[in-house]
Amino acid sequence: MQECTNAPMQECREMTSPPDPRSLKARGNIYPPSSVIRHPFPPRRDLRYAPSSAICQWLALYTKSRQEKVVMQRLLEEGIEAYVPLHKVIRQWSDRKKLVEEPLIRSYCFVNVAPFRQHKVLGVPGAVRYVWFSGKPAAIPAKQIDLLKIITGYNIPVECLSGNLMPGTKVKIIAGPMAGYCGEMISGSGKSRVIIRIEPLETAISISISPALLERIRN
């Protein structure tokens, strides 16, 4: 059966329109032959059997300084899913204060892309390189991307930490928008906070949360 997906839309509509039943009845066949019915769209593939090169995964893309949002916008224009977690902060100018949105994790843009399109991402102005691990771009779990979206979507007060952090007490958040996520409770400056590590960026998100919303994880 010939494909018609490359034909103009009007032509596809003409090809897919059913034949006149009266003409079929005159030929002694009330059902159109299979060669007459065509579909302008290919059937949806089952991703369980898709090649690994066609499956998208989240990657961390390092960008030029202060180019995170610009890179994200350019990728979206190219049809590539991209995400920069933004949080609202108050900035002081000489004559006024202003609430602005800034990247939560500096110089990073997260992209959800299949391996065969990874090179296209690097061609976007402002993109520098992927974060690598074990000889290939390091995959970021989708659950961690979802967590960042929850934090920024609910405007949860948060701080981004980098470097080697001492391990804390493992806890699970049992209530609120982040329920189900696990982290480490640490103490400092007279208050307790929960950190959630973003692997493999050597970065952690620090959140102030009530101990009543935490459950200690027993080894």
Q: Strand, helix or coil at 68?
A: helix
Please check the confidence at residue 206 and state whether its pLDDT lies above 60.
yes
> CB burial class (10 A; 0-12, 13-18, 19+) of residue 138?
middle
> Which tens digits make up the pLDDT trace of 48-60?
444 556 789 999 9
State the Cα–Cα distance between residues 60 and 140, nearest whole angstrom. Answer: 7
Among 4-18, 64-78, 154-168, which stretch is predicted with the lowest mean pLDDT?
Answer: 4-18
Residues 110/147, Cβ–Cβ less than 8 Å = no
Alpha-carbon separation of residue 79 from 54, 74, 82 (angstroms): 15, 9, 9
Q: Strand, helix or coil at 78?
A: coil
8-22, 72-86, 203-217, range with greatest mean pLDDT? 72-86
The fold for domain 141-219 equals: SH3 type barrels. (2.30.30)
Count of alpha carbons within 13 Å of 156, Cβ hemisphere only? 23
Query: Which of 56, 77, 69 lies closest to 105 in space, CA to CA?
Result: 69
Count of positions (residues) in the chain: 219
Please give the DSSP secondary-structure letter assigned to residue 178: T
- Domain map (residue ranges) of the chain: 54-140, 141-219
Residues 140/85, Cβ–Cβ less than 8 Å = no
Other CB atoms closer than 10 Å to residue 94's CB: what's the count? 4
Among 16-25, 61-70, 88-97, 192-201, which stretch is predicted with the lowest mean pLDDT?
Answer: 16-25
> Which tens digits make up the pLDDT trace of 109-143?
999 999 999 999 999 999 999 999 989 999 999 99
The fold for domain 54-140 equals: Alpha-Beta Plaits (3.30.70)
